[in-house]
Amino acid sequence: MTTQASKLSEVSKLSDVSSWGRRGRVPHHVLRPSFLDDATAAVADATAALEGDGPPLLAFGLGRSYGDVCLNANGRLLVTDRLDRLQHFDASAGVVRAEAGLSLDHLLRVIVPRGWFLPVTPGTKFVTLGGAVANDVHGKNHEHAGSFGVHVRRLGLFRSTGETLTLSREENAELFAATVGGLGLTGLITWVELDLAPIKSSRLETETIDIPDLDGFFRIAEETSRAGEAWPFTVAWVDCLASGSGLGRGLFMRSRFVPEGGLAVHRDPKITVPLDAPGFLLNGLTMRAFNGLYRNRPFARGRKVQHYDPVFYPLDAIGGWNRLYGKRGFYQHQSVIPFPQARDTVKRLLETTAAAGQGSFLSVLKLMGDRASSGLLSFPRAGATLALDFPDKGEATRGLLLRLAEIVLEAGGRLYPAKDAVMTPEMFRAGYPDWQKVAALRDPRIRSDFWRRVTGEPA
Ligand SMILES: Cc1cc2nc3c(=O)[nH]c(=O)nc-3n(C[C@H](O)[C@H](O)[C@H](O)COP(=O)(O)OP(=O)(O)OC[C@H]3O[C@@H](n4cnc5c(N)ncnc54)[C@H](O)[C@@H]3O)c2cc1C
C-alpha cells in the first residue's frame, strides 16, 4: 500500500492510552491526522491494508468519557483533535458547521461574542463535536432542550466501505439514528451541523437553594419544572455520605441567562493538578470533610449573577482534576431512572452508597425531560439521573457499582455508556432494547472495548 493512509499507519505510534477515569492504560496504535483526507484514508485503510483481519479502528475525541467507549485495546485509535476547522457559520440564523474534532471550548470562543451559545452542553467544554454526538450528551437543560442530538441538523459520516454520507432526519435517517448516541460505531463522523441558542449576555443568574433531604430535592425540582422555562438550567449536588433523615441533602441550583452584561468568552484554566493525589487522601474522612465544606461554603446560597464558565463548567477551572483520585483512577456511576420509580430508586441508590461508605466528592442529581433525540442508543430519557464518582478501591468498588446497576435495572432504568465500566451484556440489552439495530448498521471495521464487553463480540 502506498496510500497516505499506509504512510499514516507507518507513523502511528504504539502508545498507552487511558480514558478520563484513568483506571489503567492500554496499548493502542495511535493515529493523529491533521487533515480529513488523511483521516478518511486511515478509516478505509482499516479494511484495505489489513485484509480484514487486522486490528479494528475507533475514533477518539478528547477522551473525556470515563470508561471504555473511547478505548480499543491493541487496536487503532484515530484521534480527531486536529480535525477542528470551522466550515461555515451563519451568525444571523445561528447555524454552525465544523469538523467533528472541534472542541466546544473553541466553538464557544467563536459563537459567544456573536450572541450564540451551545443549545446543550455537558459539564465540561473539553469535548469534541464528534464525541458530543457519539454519546448524545445532555446538559442542565435536558428537561427543555433534550440532548445534543436534538439540535444536530446534519452530519458527515465516512465508513470503512469507502462511502461518504450525509446523514439527517430526512437523508439516511436510519444511519442518522444509529450514529447519534451510536458510540462511534457506525463510522467516522467527519463534520457536524448544529443549531445554536441565542443569548444576549454571557452571564447567568443562579439561585442556590438548600435541600434538607431527598423529598426536598423532588419538591423544588418539580416546582421548577412546572415553572417552564423560567429557570431552564437545573442541577443538584447531593452529599452522598449523608444517611438517615439527612439522606439526599444538598444544594439545588437553577440558572437562566440574563439580558445584559456583555458577551465575554471564558478564559483558560488557571490551576492544573501536577501530580496524582496519594491514595491515603481518598478515605471516608476526607470525602466527608469535602462534602461538609462544599455544603457549608460561604455565599453558596441565594442569588447571584455569574459568567457561564463557573455555572456550566466548574470542574474545568482545575486542569487535570481527575488526578485528584490518585494513581488508581476512579469510576463513575451514572444512571437514569424513569418516573414514577425515580424517587424510591434514587433513595435506594443513595442508601446503598452511604452504607458502603465509599462516597464521592461530587454527586449530581437532576431531572430529565421527555424530549427524545432520534438516537437509538441515546442514554437520556424522562426521569431522574444520578451521577456518583468512586475512587477505585478494587473489588469493593466494582461490587458496589454492580449493586447500584442492579437496583437501576430493577427499576427499568439504564446506565450511561459514556461513564460506565461495569455494565454486563444482560444489563446493556435490558437498558438499550434497540441495540441490535445499531449492531446491524455498525461499521464492520470499527470496534470499542465497550462494545466487546457488552455484546461479547470477539476483538
Ligand atoms: C468533567 C466532565 C463532565 C461531564 N459532564 C457531562 C454531562 O453533563 N453530560 C454528558 O452527557 N456527558 C458529560 N461528560 C461526558 C462527556 O461529555 C462525554 O464522554 C463526551 O462524549 C466526551 O467527548 P470526547 O470528545 O472527549 O469524546 P471521547 O470520550 O474521546 O469519545 C467518546 C465517544 O465518541 C466517539 N467519537 C469521538 N469522536 C468521533 C468521531 N469523529 N466520529 C465517530 N465517533 C467519535 C468515540 O469513539 C467514543 O465512542 C462529562 C465528562 C467530564 C470529564
Residue whose cell numbers read 466494582: 398
Closest ligand 1 atom to residue 101 Cα is 41
415 CB under 6 A from ligand 1?
Answer: no
67 CB under 6 A from ligand 1?
Answer: no
| Omega prior to 56 cis, within 30 of 0 | no
Domain ranges of the chain: 86-199, 203-428
63 CB under 6 A from ligand 1?
Answer: yes
359 CB under 6 A from ligand 1?
Answer: no
- Backbone phi, psi, residue 301, to 5°: -90, 170
The parts of the chain modelled with pLDDT lower than 70 are 1-12, 46-54, 278-299, 459
**Residue 208 CA to ligand 1 centre (angstroms):** 28
Rounded distance between C-alpha atoms, residue 320 and residue 300, angstroms? 24
**Residue 60 CA to ligand 1 centre (angstroms):** 9
**Rounded to the nearest 10 degrees, what angle do helices 342-356 and 395-410 cross at?**
170
Strands (E), 159-287: 164-168, 188-195, 197-198, 203-211, 233-238, 250-257, 271-272
The DSSP symbol for 276 reads: P
Query: Which of 3.90.1170.50, 3.30.70.2520, 3.50.50.60, 3.10.110.10 would CATH assign to domain 203-428?
Result: 3.30.70.2520
Would you mind telling me the total number of residues written for the chain in this entry? Answer: 459
Q: What's the mean pLDDT when you consider all of the chain?
A: 91
Among positive and negative, which fits the CA dihedral 435, 436, 437, 439? Answer: positive
H or E segment to which residue 303 belongs:
strand 302-307
384 CB under 6 A from ligand 1?
Answer: no
Closest ligand 1 atom to residue 103 Cα is 25
Rounded distance between C-alpha atoms, residue 389 and residue 225, angstroms? 26
430 CB under 6 A from ligand 1?
Answer: no
139 CB under 6 A from ligand 1?
Answer: yes
- The answer to whether domain 86-199 has CATH 3.30.465.10 is yes
* Chain segment 74-85, per-residue pLDDT in tens: 999 999 999 999
**Residue 217 CA to ligand 1 centre (angstroms):** 28
Nearest protein CA to atom 32 of ligand 1, as residue: 131
70 CB under 6 A from ligand 1?
Answer: yes
Nearest protein CA to atom 49 of ligand 1, as residue: 183
This prediction's pTM:
0.94
Q: Are strands 271-272 and 318-319 parallel, antiparallel or unpaired?
A: parallel
124 CB under 6 A from ligand 1?
Answer: yes
Q: Which amino acid is at 76?
A: R
pLDDT value of residue 6: 44
Closest ligand 1 atom to residue 136 Cα is 11
C-alpha cell at 349: 441508590
C-alpha 403 chain-centroid distance: 22
98 CB under 6 A from ligand 1?
Answer: no
12 CB under 6 A from ligand 1?
Answer: no
Rounded distance between C-alpha atoms, residue 363 and residue 334, angstroms? 10
**Residue 223 CA to ligand 1 centre (angstroms):** 31
**Residue 214 CA to ligand 1 centre (angstroms):** 29
Residues 6+ apart with CB under 8 A from 77: 17, 28, 29, 30, 31, 57, 58, 59, 60, 71
Residue whose cell numbers read 430526512: 170
Nearest protein CA to atom 9 of ligand 1, as residue: 122
pLDDT value of residue 299: 60
Q: Are strands 152-158 and 95-99 parallel, antiparallel or unpaired?
A: unpaired
Task: Tell me which residue of 135, 123, 91 sits closest to 110, measured CA to CA.
Answer: 91
Q: Are strands 250-257 and 233-238 parallel, antiparallel or unpaired?
A: antiparallel
Q: Are 384 and 365 in contact (CB under 8 A)?
A: yes
Q: Are 122 and 142 in contact (CB under 8 A)?
A: no
Q: Are 71 and 449 in contact (CB under 8 A)?
A: yes
pLDDT value of residue 1: 34
